[in-house]
Amino acid sequence: MEIGPKHSLKNHAADPICLYDLYFRVGGASIGKTNTCIVINSNDVIGDHFWAWRADHGESDGVGPDNFMARWDEL
């Protein structure tokens, strides 16, 4: 998610941007990857309750190649 254009100089002090209850999950029972979940380029942004995590688990019946626990050292 990207908020505002790069190098933004616009003043939002009179009407700030509010971001709340944002959830970013990367991965699960299989490996997932990203470089960035959120980029805030704008000024005067209020953020509350962001949850960004790399999940290392998911539903699994323990059978088959896609049923494993993703490890932190895996890409």
Q: What is the pLDDT of residue 7?
A: 92
Between 29 and 8, the more confident residue is: 8
Measured CA to CA, the distance from residue 66 to residue 31 in angstroms comes to 9
Q: What is the pLDDT of residue 70?
A: 56
**pTM surpassing 0.75?**
no
Q: What is the pLDDT of residue 44?
A: 95
Residues 15-71: pLDDT tens digits? 999 999 999 988 776 677 788 899 999 999 999 999 988 776 666 555 555 555 555
Contact predicate 37/55, CB 8 Å: no
At residue 23, φ and ψ (nearest 5 deg) are: -125, 130
Measured CA to CA, the distance from residue 60 to residue 43 in angstroms comes to 43
For residue 64, the 8-state DSSP code is S
- Closest alpha carbon to 71 in 41, 30, 40: 30
